[in-house]
């Protein structure tokens, strides 16, 4: 960054110039033919700062560097970066210690965040799909399923760019710690926020569980899951399914009674978990089951398990003894439907973050929309509320990750 440009901007911010004068200086600098790309980004940053439209150190305007996977080392989508992949070196504008500037001037500069993201080449995506498909159930080998697995990786990268860090090995989930690294796909000793596998093709350590486990900037450990929500043209119209319970094996004949009983219970409850507990106490629901009931295991006794939105709730989550089965939030990757189904390895266009506690309140307030799903062939008996991105954001249940953490725009800017 040109020291003269940076110093002039920084000093002008610290003087008693009017807002219009400061903006005028920035416009003069922008018009100078000698101003480079980095200078323009800094000027834009300061223009927005003076206008009060972004925070103190916005990262959305910071550029990123792109290199080939053969030039850098790191864990990517499936192990080490592939040589022909593009790897983005993410950067941010922040305070720097620039010896060219006066000590009494607050200095801003471009620095690397330490986060590197892999983008597969078309050939690399085809090769990874060829390796991945045999490891999956025969009904789960489509491009859609492959892209869901890839979206877990980009969700991890989004969480990292929002300032989250990998947990220490001692804070990994129970199954990962108990395995003690015997499984070659362990996340022990890695920088993975994806908890139960280090690669897409190596399988999970222990039973499948929530996708993410990480340390927040405040030092808390959070557990989250990832789903995909597709749309035709408008991301705000992407459909989202909020799951309250699953594996109940309730039948079609019980749908009407379930809906009526739930609406009565919801009027006496603060959230959907309390409403389900009331129904359970009244003998209107099956017993809670600890073990997962597979749809092909018809000899299993009736039971139900917590859905994604109730997995950490006091009642429905009470049988989730494994610490990686209690989700505090769920990321939804947003992707055009056609891209999701046809383009291997495509990064999502954005993510929304749904807080499970807020979702439970929302589901209770809209209990009449919660439907028992018994007509899907699997007789699973899940209870689901269908909504979309726009409604969840307007209700304060979900947040747009790019709006909350502008640095994520670097990740999803294709």
- pLDDT at res. 73: 92
CB 193 within 8 A of CB 213: yes
Query: What count of Cα atoms within 13 Å lies in the side-chain half-sphere of residue 357?
Result: 2
CB 50 within 8 A of CB 13: yes
Please state the domain extents for the chain.
Answer: 3-117, 139-219, 235-412
DSSP classification of residue 290: S
DSSP per-residue letters across 369-398:
GEEEE--SSS---EEEEEEEHHHHHHTTSE
Element at 46 (helix H, strand E): helix 37-51
CB 319 within 8 A of CB 310: no
- pLDDT at res. 303: 73
Task: Tell me the pTM.
Answer: 0.80
The ranges of the chain with pLDDT < 70 are 1-61, 94-109, 290-302, 375-379, 413-414
Closest residue by Cα to residue 241 from 380, 74, 48, 406? 380
- pLDDT at res. 215: 96
Cα 266 from Cα 247, distance rounded (Å): 21
User: Distance between terminal CA atoms of the chain?
Assistant: 26
Element at 273 (helix H, strand E): helix 272-281
Sign of the dihedral through C-alpha 268, 270, 272, 276: negative
Cα 212 from Cα 192, distance rounded (Å): 9
CA 321 centroid distance within chain: 24
Give the neighbor-by-neighbor strand order of the sheet with 350-355.
212-215, 221-231, 329-336, 350-355, 398-400
Per residue in 267-303, pLDDT tens? 999 999 999 999 999 999 988 876 544 444 444 545 7
- pLDDT at res. 1: 42
Scanning the structure block, which residue is given the tokens 């300061």? 46
Cα 149 from Cα 132, distance rounded (Å): 10
Cα 404 from Cα 352, distance rounded (Å): 10
Per residue in 77-87, pLDDT tens? 999 999 999 99
């Amino acid at each position: 960054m040109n020291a003269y440009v940076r110093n002039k901007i920084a000093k002008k911010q610290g003087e008693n110039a009017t807002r219009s004068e400061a903006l005028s200086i920035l416009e003069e600098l922008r018009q100078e033919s000698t101003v480079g790309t980095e200078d323009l980004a800094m000027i834009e940053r300061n223009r927005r700062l003076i206008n009060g439209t972004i925070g103190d150190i916005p990262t959305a305007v910071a550029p990123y560097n792109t290199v080939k996977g053969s030039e850098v080392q790191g864990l990517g989508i499936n192990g080490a970066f592939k040589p022909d992949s593009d790897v983005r070196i993410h950067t941010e504008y922040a305070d720097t210690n620039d010896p060219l500037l006066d000590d009494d001037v607050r200095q801003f500069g471009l620095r690397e965040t330490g986060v590197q993201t892999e983008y597969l080449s078309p050939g690399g995506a085809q090769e990874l799909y060829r390796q991945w498909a045999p490891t999956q159930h025969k009904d789960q080998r489509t491009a859609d399923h492959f892209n869901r697995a890839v979206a877990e990786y980009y969700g991890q990268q989004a969480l990292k760019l929002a300032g989250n860090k990998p947990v220490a090995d001692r804070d990994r989930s129970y199954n990962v710690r108990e395995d003690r690294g015997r499984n070659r796909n362990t996340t022990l000793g890695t920088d993975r926020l994806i908890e139960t596998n280090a690669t897409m093709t190596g399988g999970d350590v222990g039973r499948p569980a929530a996708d993410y486990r990480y340390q927040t900037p405040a030092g808390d450990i959070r557990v989250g899951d990832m789903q995909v929500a597709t749309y035709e043209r408008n991301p705000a119209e992407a459909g989202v399914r909020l799951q309250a319970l699953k594996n109940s094996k309730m039948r079609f004949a019980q749908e009407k009674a379930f809906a009526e009983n739930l609406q009565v219970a919801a009027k006496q409850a603060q959230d959907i978990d309390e409403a389900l507990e009331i129904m359970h106490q009244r003998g209107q629901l099956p017993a809670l089951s600890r073990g997962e009931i597979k749809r092909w295991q018809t000899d299993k006794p009736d039971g139900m398990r917590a859905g994604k939105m109730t997995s950490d709730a006091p009642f429905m989550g009470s049988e989730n003894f494994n610490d990686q089965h209690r989700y505090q939030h769920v990321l939804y990757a947003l992707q055009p439907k056609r891209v999701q189904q046809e383009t291997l390895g495509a990064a999502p266009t954005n993510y929304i973050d749904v807080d499970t506690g807020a979702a439970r309140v929302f589901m209770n307030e809209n209990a009449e929309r919660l439907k028992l799903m018994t007509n899907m062939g699997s007789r699973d008996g899940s209870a689901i509320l269908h909504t979309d991105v726009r409604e969840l954001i307007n209700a304060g249940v979900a947040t747009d990750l790019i709006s909350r953490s502008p640095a994520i725009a670097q990740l999803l800017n294709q």
